[in-house]
Amino acid sequence: MTNRELLSFEDFRRARLNDSGFMVITDSARPPIVHRLNGKCVSAENFRTKVVVEQRASGTYYLVDTVSSGVKELGASVCKVCKPLKADKEPWKS
């Protein structure tokens, strides 16, 4: 399996600092979506609310190796805002 659930804020922080892989966010209001790990759609405040405060009642976060593993294993769609399939033109600016 190429995904793991992020259960604590420390897991979330380490994943974003490592900057390797993609984030799948499941939500009670919509289907799972694959995001860039450090994309503008992934916020520490939302993670804290959904996972830490509400104890995963309204959503879960997964770290996946590839976009395709998030789609195949978690049934996620690809984010239309942060576009994880599109390569960065100037990655040093992010």
Average pLDDT in the 79-85 region? 91
What pLDDT score was predicted for residue 1? 44
Measured in degrees and rounded to the nearest 5, phi and psi for residue 59 equal 170, 160
Contacts 24+ apart (CB under 8 A), 11-18: 12/44, 12/47, 12/51, 12/61, 13/44, 15/63, 16/42, 16/44
Per-residue pLDDT tens digits for 38-63: 889 999 999 998 888 877 677 899 99
What pLDDT score was predicted for residue 2? 66
Q: Where are the domains of the chain?
A: 3-86
